[in-house]
Chain A
Amino acid sequence: MLFRGRYQGSSFFELVEIDHPQLRPEQPTAGVRAEASMPSVPHGTTVLAFRFAEGVVVAGDRLATEGHRVASRDLQKVFPTDAHSLIAIAGAAGPAIEMARMLRIELEHYEKIEGEALELEGKANKLSQMVRANLPAAMQGLVVVPLFAGYDLRRGIGRLWKYDVTGGRYEEAEFDASGSGGLYARESIKKVFRPGLTRDEALLMALQALADAADEDRATGGVDLARGIFPLVCFCTAAGVTEIDRVTLERVYREQVLVARTRTGAR
């Protein structure tokens, strides 16, 4: 392995591009249409993020689909990128997970080389460049549209961004959702969102929104009680990123989501 390379900067993404191009994810040749050549690949479906009193909540379902088939029932779509930020991915699962992994290494690499972490805005901007670099693949159907959220330590608030395929970066003041069930999740959140939600309210809202998305969108996975598969819900606050444990998720789901949606008797 190359020890002393040409690259002297502090970006891992660029380091791989310049000194280790063999490790770079292969970009498909431009101009080839997806339908003709692209084999079907797993797609992640619904992820969401919204602000609450202490910071920001990021959540996602666990299903990956390949056309009409289930590719995976317990895919992870929400990834902590460092102590105070998260990425949630929707779209082509392969490149999306790779992007999440790359962003995590990128932020850590910068912190180690420079001796201090990037500002939250800087992190969001970095992701924007990575989404833009994926544009040729997106043109062929391998679309990746992440959500990025974190706690801004300097301003003392939670913040979130959504992206489009061109790397366009839009900060959302309240909430957003992405993926095939994103529309339903967003509508669900919209009805109940207010500034200053408590931790418990936020958790319930995240589960309700994912249940609504799973209800309307066949590609979004709901809670699978038989297999014990639950959505991934993470809080990002001044204290850092915490993932909600399975026991809490199951309790809230059974007591507050499932009961309200259960009808007895035949139709």
Chain B
Amino acid sequence: MSMSFYVSPEQLMQDKAEYARKGIARGKSIVALEYDKGIVLVAENPSRLTKIGEIYDRIAFAGVGKFSEFDQLRKIGVRFADVRGYAYSREDVRCMALANAYSQAIGDVFTREMKPLEVEVIVAEVGEPLLTGHEENVIFRVQFDGSISDHRGFCAIGGAVEGLETFLRENYRTGLPLGEAIAVGRRALVAAANGAAPIAAERLEVCTLDRERPGRKFRRVGADELRAILG
């Protein structure tokens, strides 16, 4: 005969949270920074599997933790955005709705399932001067338990969030040009990992949401271009 033991809800949630945090801390962190023409996302990623992706015209996604889980979330986001844009209009696809949907879905898994998702994601949207009420950049961070937060200037996800935030609070300023924003992002990643040597351009994954591009604002910055920018 099987016996089921009583576990208090507090204990259960704590255990799940600890499990998720451990999983997330194993991977490398990502930072998103606002620069003078948009938003740039910087990740240390030596592999070919990408952590940053395009969701829609003005929206980008970045995820840390278990690849299969956050990549699945990215694809769900692309489907959500494309269906919305098809049913309504391209301008009706908004970051806020997507971030809320992520928060619901991730939170749902956290409370209902045995195993929580070991992920943390950033959803960022570059402002559009012609769209009233949406002129400003928007950056959301959604954590493994579905908690969602709104960020201005910069945002970090991953195991080294505290170190990154401390560094960026001291070193980030608004209105940086792209090159400097990428350099600050790289220095933050190095500092938070207690590393000394800067991360080589080949080991960085950098994507931008550039307000000045027509149509789709998302762009992947190649290794050659990064080398030229970072020197």
Contact = CB atoms under 8 A, between A and B. Distances in A.
A200 B83 CA distance: 41
Interface in A202-216: none
B79 A15 contact: yes
B105 A1 contact: no
A3 B87 contact: no
A38 B87 CA distance: 25
B50 A16 contact: no
A20 B54 contact: no
Interface string B19-42: 000000000000000000000000
Interface stretch (A109-117, A148-156, A217-225): A109-117
A92 B53 CA distance: 37
Interface residues of A, number: 20
Interface string B141-161: 000000000000000000000
Contacts of A105: 82, 85-86
Nearest to B97: A1
B101 interface: yes
B57 to A, nearest CB: 10
Interface in A89-105: 101-102, 105
Contacts of A19: 79, 83
A3 B104 contact: yes
Contacts of B50: 115
A3 B82 contact: no
Contacts of A108: 82, 216
B13 interface: no
B221 to A, nearest CB: 15
Interface string A72-86: 000000000000000
A211 B104 CA distance: 57
Contacts of A1: 80, 83-84, 87
Nearest to B76: A4
A31 interface: no
A15 B82 CA distance: 10
A12 B75 CA distance: 12
Contacts of A16: 83, 86
Contacts of B79: 5, 7, 15, 19, 109
A226 interface: no
A23 B83 contact: yes
9 contacts: A1-B84, A2-B83, A12-B86, A105-B86, A112-B54, A112-B78, A112-B82, A113-B78, A115-B50
**Which 7 residue pairs are nearest across A and B when measured between Cβ atoms?**
A112-B78, A3-B101, A109-B82, A112-B54, A23-B87, A113-B75, A12-B82
